[in-house]
């Protein structure tokens, strides 16, 4: 059996960035508005630094104004909430992203709830999450599952009626991913099984799936024996494994045993180069959407 077709997240994200860039130009020409996103980072976590730097750089490339505010690790929750309050009231800020993880003295759910839902370009405000679960078209969907959805759509993968196994029940990927695929719409209507660490017979569930979306956070968890021949496999995982040959002594791998699974699957995302670029693409598309709504006076609370 030939190797699986690669679903190229870099190429598809480039398509979306091109569309987003055109929307930025249209906003500037029609309204004289430059979309703006503000990133807030608390502490000096290396991964958070890298993520924010990448997002900010791509925003600037597309003509989106990007600002990064860095607070000390010891910052109190009240101080962060006050900052969010100021950003909520700043008309030049269309999107706000507080980079997780946050220090232990700060409650993430309260921070995400404090962001104006119309500027919640990361898609985690309870109003947006609730609307997604109710099928009421939130202003913004969480970026990673929305990116996976776009990968499937733009790769021509049939979703309606498909059996989908989502591995992982987290609030960032698993739960919203299931909600997106269950929607009564053209690229929804899937039959979704949400699997997690307490699920029984995971292999049997996966073997029935037309689409497997792995977001468990366990390196190479999905093996070839778990995949139905011809199935589509999307690898969301990012895991650090020891590698003495690597410069830093480790390398990043996904939740899927890529080399083995690609010999069974019909289509598969590489990792890196699959889901990761899509997350940034959806974030910046959401930011421009927030600016468009602000210009049109649109709100659907």
Point out the residues that are catalytic: 55, 99, 122
CB count within 10 Å of CB 208 equals 12
Measured between alpha carbons, how far is 257 from 212 in angstroms, rounded to an integer? 13
Distance, CA of 72 to CA of 74 (rounded, Å): 5
SS3 of residue 194 by DSSP: strand
The angle formed by the CA atoms of residues 231, 141 and 135, to the nearest 5 degrees, is: 85
As a whole number of angstroms, the distance between CA 168 and CA 215 comes to 5
Joined together, the tokens standing for residue 38 give 């503000």
* Closest by CA position to 192, among listed 230, 223, 159: 159
Q: Is the dihedral of CA 106, 134, 168, 3 positive or negative?
A: negative
Copy the structure tokens of residue 194. Answer: 């949400």
Gap between the Cα atoms of 242 and 245, Å rounded: 9
Q: How distant, in Å, are the alpha carbons of 34, 37, 82, 283 from that of 95?
A: 12, 4, 16, 9
For residues 238-250, b (16+ Cβ closer than 10 Å) or e, as one string? bbeeeeeeeeeee
**Listed residue (91, 92, 80, 76) closest to 41, CA to CA:** 80
């Amino acid at each position: 059996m030939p190797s699986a077709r690669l679903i190229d997240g870099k190429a598809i994200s480039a398509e979306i960035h091109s569309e987003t860039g055109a929307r930025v130009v249209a906003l500037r020409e029609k309204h004289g508005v430059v979309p703006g996103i503000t990133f807030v980072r608390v502490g000096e976590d290396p991964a958070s630094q890298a993520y924010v730097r990448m997002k900010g750089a791509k925003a600037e490339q597309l003509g989106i104004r990007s600002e990064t505010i860095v607070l000390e690790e010891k910052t109190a929750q009240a101080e962060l909430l006050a900052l969010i309050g100021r950003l909520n009231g700043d008309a030049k800020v269309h999107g706000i992203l507080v980079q997780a993880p946050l220090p232990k003295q700060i409650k993430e759910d309260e921070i995400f709830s404090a962001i104006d839902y119309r500027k919640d370009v990361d898609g985690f405000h309870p109003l947006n999450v609730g609307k997604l679960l109710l099928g009421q078209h939130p202003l913004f969907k969480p970026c990673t599952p929305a990116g996976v959805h776009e990968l499937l759509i733009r790769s021509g993968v049939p979703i309606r009626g498909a059996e989908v196994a989502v591995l992982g029940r987290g609030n960032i990927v698993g739960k919203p991913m299931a909600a997106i695929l269950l929607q009564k719409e053209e690229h929804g209507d899937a039959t979704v099984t949400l699997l997690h660490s307490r699920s029984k017979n995971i292999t049997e569930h996966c073997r029935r799936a037309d689409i497997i979306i792995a977001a468990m956070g366990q390196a190479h968890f999905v093996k070839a024996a778990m995949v139905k021949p011809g199935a589509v496999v999307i690898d969301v995982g990012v895991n650090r494994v020891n590698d003495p040959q690597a410069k830093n002594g480790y390398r990043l791998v996904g939740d899927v045993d890529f080399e083995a699974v690609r010999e069974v699957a019909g289509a598969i995302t590489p990792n890196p180069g699959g889901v990761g670029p899509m997350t940034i693409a959806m974030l910046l598309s959401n930011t421009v959407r927030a600016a468009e709504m602000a210009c049109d006076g649109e709100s659907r609370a």
